[in-house]
Amino acid sequence: MTPMTPTSPPLSRLVPEYVRRFTAYIPSKPDDELKKLYGCSRLFRLNNNENALGPPAPAQEVIKCFPAPRASIYPSGDAYHLRIRLGERLEVHPDQILVGNGANEVISFVIKAFCQEGDNIITADKTFAVYEWVAEFSGFEARLVPLQDFRFDDQGMLAQIDDRTKILFVCNPNNPTGSYWSEARLRRFLETVAGRQIVVIDEAYGEFVEDSGFPNSIRLLHEFPNLVVFRTFSKMYGLAGLRIGYLVGDHEVVDVIRRTCVVYSVNSLAQIAAYAALEQDGEHIAKTRDLVREGKELLHREIRNLRLPFVSGAGNFLMVQLPINDGLAYRKLMREGVMVRSMTGFRFPNWIRVTVGQRDAMEALVEGLRKVLTD
């Protein structure tokens, strides 16, 4: 007799229900594959809000000179030297800073530190999606408050708080709309929360804002110890490929979050490049702001000529509303060698988000939009 093969139980019995209902994020293919797929000889990546100037010159130099033997040695487990430098720069104690493998990891640190079964977080319905994703795939409720006039609704967020709310996430400036709260509005929000929940202010695009009314949230930490501020080296500092971001908070809060951190998650090259990026960042920030300002002036003029609605606030990006499906527009623009972000996933159907970059890329985008509208 042929022995019977035991039947394995279904894998699904091991998977939590909140993971089963979650859809995985599928990244785009590498440039060489995309060029073959869409038949284009060049590709302007205007989908991820990267800095078209790249990293500051000192960071570029340390990247070029990174000694290969150091790749065999583990990095500083807590980004010690970078935290010392950031502490000096931000006028906070280094132990108030935690460095992570990009924004996604520091978001995860905070949610894991404070949320347990039955808890919820509150954010906007049309913002950086990772706050919602990390909460949901960790088994926590994400309460999403609609934007008002493309802005975070402070009163709407406050109205959603209950006794199981642990964290409120505010993207300031907001990705993808570019809107932001003034210091006065942020202060009123923090005063109303009154320390009962953690308030996270994500300033990933803060360095792009030139308005004197934009808050320096880190200076508010001594008044509001429940405040946590996120910043990144991916955007203004052009180190997106090295994945490095950080958070700043009160000693007690950061001590709690530190317990959820994964040591050695930030590689050696990222740490030394970020350290070097701070050396001459004033010049780099000024050049980047000039590039973005000039790029937006060109796009505002040309998009108005095309009679398309658009939203353009702070940050190195803007959104454009199209008369056709954004997924179809994405594919048509890819055939012209222009890659944008389709916005249905951000709950903005028929909109695209565009990174502002070098003039040749902006001109290619405008020409691509003309073709999309006339096809």
Task: Tell me the pLDDT tens digit for each residue of 267-298.
Answer: 999 999 999 999 988 999 999 999 999 999 99
Instruction: Name 167's bridge partners.
Output: 121, 198
Q: What is the DSSP letter of 95?
A: G
HEC readout, 154-199:
HHHHHHCCCCCEEEEEEECCCCCCCCCCCHHHHHHHHHHHCCCCEE
CB 248 within 8 A of CB 92: yes
Quick one: pLDDT at residue 3?
63
User: For residue 167, what are its two tokens?
Assistant: 């964290």
Q: Which amino acid is at 74?
A: Y
* Helix or strand (DSSP H, E) at 97: strand 97-100
User: What is the rounded distance in angstroms from the CA atom of residue 322 to the CA atom of residue 308?
Assistant: 7
Q: Which residue has the tokens 């940050």?
A: 315
Query: Residue ranges of the domains in the chain?
Result: 26-52+282-374, 57-279
Nearest in space to 246 (alpha carbons), one of 273, 266, 267, 219: 266
Quick one: pLDDT at residue 220?
97
Q: For residue 173, is the peptide bond before it cis, meaning its omega torsion is within 30 degrees of 0?
A: yes
Nearest in space to 122 (alpha carbons), one of 203, 181, 221, 198: 198
Q: For residue 8, what are the contacts with CB-CB under 8 A and spacing of at least 6? A: none
Dihedral of alpha carbons 117, 121, 125, 126, sign: negative
User: What is the rounded distance in angstroms from the CA atom of residue 358 to the CA atom of residue 253?
Assistant: 41
User: What is the rounded distance in angstroms from the CA atom of residue 343 to the CA atom of residue 9?
Assistant: 39
Which pTM does this prediction carry?
0.94
User: What is the rounded distance in angstroms from the CA atom of residue 260 to the CA atom of residue 300?
Assistant: 44
CB 247 within 8 A of CB 58: no
- CATH topology for 57-279 is Aspartate Aminotransferase; domain 2 (3.40.640)
CB 352 within 8 A of CB 331: no
Q: Which amino acid is at 70?
A: R
Instruction: Name 99's bridge partners.
Output: 246
Quick one: pLDDT at residue 5?
63
Residues in the chain, pLDDT under 50: none
Q: Measure Cα distances from 44 to 14, 260, 340 in Å.
A: 43, 38, 9
User: What is the rounded distance in angstroms from the CA atom of residue 8 to the CA atom of residue 18?
Assistant: 23
- CATH topology for 26-52+282-374 is Aspartate Aminotransferase, domain 1 (3.90.1150)
Quick one: pLDDT at residue 18?
85
User: What is the rounded distance in angstroms from the CA atom of residue 254 to the CA atom of residue 352?
Assistant: 37
Q: Which stretches does DSSP call E strand in 47-110?
A: 97-100
User: What is the rounded distance in angstroms from the CA atom of residue 305 to the CA atom of residue 320?
Assistant: 13
Distance linking the first and last C-alpha atoms of the chain = 68
| Residue 144: how many other CB atoms lie within 10 Å | 19
User: What is the rounded distance in angstroms from the CA atom of residue 318 to the CA atom of residue 288?
Assistant: 16
CB 311 within 8 A of CB 353: no
Quick one: pLDDT at residue 22?
80
CB 230 within 8 A of CB 201: yes
Nearest in space to 215 (alpha carbons), one of 250, 179, 180: 180
